[in-house]
Chains A and B, each alone.
Chain A
Amino acid sequence: MISGHSHLDRTLYWVRFVLVSAFGIIMLIPILWMLSTSLKPLAQVFQLPIQWIPTPPEWSNYPAAWNQFPFGRYFVNSLIVSVAVTVLNVVLAGFAGYSLAKYRYVGQRALFLAILCTLMLPIEVLMVPTFLIAKELGWLNTYQGLIVPVAADAFGVFLMRQFMLHLPDSLIEAARIDGAGELGTYFRIVVPLIWPAVFTLALFVWRETWDSFVWPFIIISDDSLRTVPIGLQRFQEQYVTTYNQVMAISTVAMIPLVLLFFFFQRAFIQGIALSGLKE
């Protein structure tokens, strides 16, 4: 626009748009296929040419899929576990981050490095020993087994520390002089100031937990404790895969995340950008 290429610029603008849209449609097709299949009778699932808008739509796939396994139960379990993990992890990570950012004590640096090191120990690596520890504690097939080991994650500690380092010490000092006490200072001064970061972390942890598969898959065999991801996986164990029902329940399982993304796009995207720090 600064140079005299405005004609070229306009062409490029539309070329880019077409490119991005074309690629976007390719990205979208599998999801559209999922939605359309979820509304087909089983006999039509692989029929050609593809009916993108099934007429009449087979809405009954949804209740049928929902009732095939106790999905109400799975959803409740997922909700309990993901909320509990989020609260536990965010609260403790906040404490730990505060301790590492705003206190000075012997061994602090070593402790911080040790905590940082746990970031390279995902459950995929530690599944055998973590399972054995949970077994030792009698936590197989329990809620605490689903919750506590997952809440032991250092990503939040690291994130909270980074944010709290930017808080001016003078604020905390002032609160102390006013006699706010250590806990009072933390909850009344520090937390309100870093609230956006807390929220981003909470959303991130919630999403990860809602979606987590490996750990529940290993320690849960009791059907009444299954979460949504391992409940979904049961469809795959069947002799004949009823793809229309699988796609119906997949659609349902996707709804909470899509809604959440829709309402909290910014925090979500921030979470993804931040997750570069994780892994």
Chain B
Amino acid sequence: MARPPMRANGLSLSLRDSAGVDTPPLLGGTAAAPRRRRGLRTRLRSAEARRQVWGYLFLAPMLLLLVVFKFLPMVQAFYLSLTSYDLLSATRFVGLSNYAALLRDPLFHQSVGATAYFVFGTCVPLWALSLVLALVFNTALPARNVLRLVYFLPAIMPVVVYAMVWRFLFHPYGLLNVGLHAVGLPAVDWLGDRRATMPGFILSAEWRFVPYFMIMYLAGLQNIPQEYYEAAAIDGASGFQRFRAITLPLLRPTGLLVVVVSLILMSKVFTNVLVISGGGPDGATRVLSLFIYETGFQFFKMGLASAASIFLLLGMMVFTLMQLRLFRDGRHD
């Protein structure tokens, strides 16, 4: 569509107009209006001014909430990261020493490593699996609706229930080990063996999130016009050729979206880790959000926790900026 660029122009135009000479009388609209009641232009302008005020009024409540509970906390996170504060004694300015302490802290290193392990270990198989499933689901299948409901159950269950069920599966006599035993493999100490815990978490994350991202891919697949495939079939293109020449390139924006969303989603993992392993064994699953929680709310080092938050924030910012870019690119189509 050609609309969006035009709208963007209109927007910047109106901004330039209203930011110019007109602004002072607009702001004092009601006071200025009686004096120049006669001019039609002025009256229009005061109507315009009233509308502007309504624009602000409609935005104000949500903006207020966001300022208090998003912007203010963000500023405070930066500020706190430069201080030492334990909820009891007064805040003490310490410069960058929290950051220095984190960079030296082996527990923090371990936490960053655990987060990266979880995020990439989960996401890479996730991208492939959800794409394959979406491709299969996008074709004619018997009992598609029933299958879809089944696939969705893991994704719609409450996060704590999901965590409880997997804690149960990871039990030494739980279903995972029963399954391993059935195929002749030795039992795994899922929550006690530090090499096994993270793979277990990754497995559980695949179980929960594959259907979720399959939906995103399906939405993308259904946006591809059917005529392309018909035309290609008439030209004698094989199924694989059609996939390579039509599906893959047209699915690229969706694919990028899936990549970014999954990276962000996984990097803030918290609840299931807290419930299932509490970060253990030996901190092998203490992901960043859990590190922040423990530092802040168990050891009451608010400054240090905030510095760690800033690291997590930076990571997410990189991913989000990628996402915003995608949106801008997507809008030109």
For window 161-195 of B, CB contacts with A under 8 Å fall at 161, 164-169, 171, 173-175, 178
Assess A273 versus B52: contact at CB under 8 Å? Given A104-B14, A129-B77: no
Does B21 interact with chain A (Cβ within 8 Å)? no
Across chains A and B, the number of contacting residue pairs, with CB separation under 8 Å, is 274
The closest CB in chain B to the CB of A103 belongs to B55
Residues of A within 8 A of B271 (CB): 213-214, 229
Q: Is the CB of A96 within 8 A of B63?
A: yes
CB within 8 A of A218: which of B142, B165, B297? B297
Q: Is the CB of A118 within 8 A of B71?
A: yes
State the CA gap A208–B155 with chains docked (Å). 12
For window 89-122 of A, CB contacts with B under 8 Å fall at 92-93, 95-96, 98-100, 103-106, 108-109, 111, 114-116, 118-122
In this complex, the interface size class of chain B, counting residues with CB under 8 Å from chain A, is 35 or more
Over the window 11-27 of chain B, the binary record of Cβ atoms lying under 8 Å from chain A Cβ atoms (1 yes, 0 no) is 11011001100010000
State the CA gap A114–B62 with chains docked (Å). 12
Residues of B within 8 A of A279 (CB): 261, 264-265, 323
Interface-lining segment among B29-37, B38-46, B101-109, B306-314: B306-314
The closest CB in chain B to the CB of A210 belongs to B158
State the CA gap A210–B178 with chains docked (Å). 33
Q: Is the CB of A92 within 8 A of B18?
A: no
The closest CB in chain A to the CB of B215 belongs to A272
State the CA gap A157–B65 with chains docked (Å). 12
Residues of A within 8 A of B69 (CB): 130, 133, 148-149, 152
State the CA gap A28–B236 with chains docked (Å). 40
Does B292 interact with chain A (Cβ within 8 Å)? yes
Q: Is the CB of B66 within 8 A of A118?
A: yes
Does A2 interact with chain B (Cβ within 8 Å)? yes
What is the CB-to-nearest-CB distance from A197 to chain B, in angstroms, rounded to a whole number?
16
Q: Is the CB of A24 within 8 A of B150?
A: yes
Over the window 136-165 of chain A, the binary record of Cβ atoms lying under 8 Å from chain B Cβ atoms (1 yes, 0 no) is 000000000000110110100100000001
What is the CB-to-nearest-CB distance from B124 to chain A, in angstroms, rounded to a whole number?
18
Q: Is the CB of B141 within 8 A of A16?
A: yes
State the CA gap A30–B207 with chains docked (Å). 10
- A-B complex: 8 closest residue pairs judged by Cβ atoms: A103-B55, A99-B58, A152-B65, A129-B73, A129-B76, A152-B69, A120-B320, A96-B62
30 A-B contacts, Cβ less than 8 Å apart? A30-B154, A30-B169, A100-B59, A105-B18, A106-B23, A108-B11, A108-B15, A118-B66, A118-B71, A119-B320, A121-B74, A124-B292, A125-B77, A127-B297, A128-B296, A128-B302, A133-B68, A207-B156, A213-B160, A228-B160, A233-B275, A243-B168, A243-B171, A254-B158, A254-B161, A258-B157, A261-B152, A268-B156, A272-B155, A276-B216
A residues adjacent to B (C-beta < 8 A): 2-3, 13, 16-17, 19-21, 23-24, 27-31, 33-34, 37, 46, 48, 50, 92-93, 95-96, 98-100, 103-106, 108-109, 111, 114-116, 118-122, 124-133, 148-149, 151-152, 154, 157, 165, 182, 186, 207, 210-211, 213-214, 217-218, 228-230, 232-233, 235-236, 243, 246-247, 250, 253-254, 257-258, 261-262, 265, 268-269, 272-273, 275-277, 279
Further contacts, 14 of them, CB under 8 A, given A125-B268, A228-B158, A246-B168: A20-B147, A21-B147, A31-B153, A96-B63, A99-B55, A104-B55, A122-B268, A124-B268, A124-B292, A127-B292, A132-B80, A152-B69, A246-B164, A250-B164
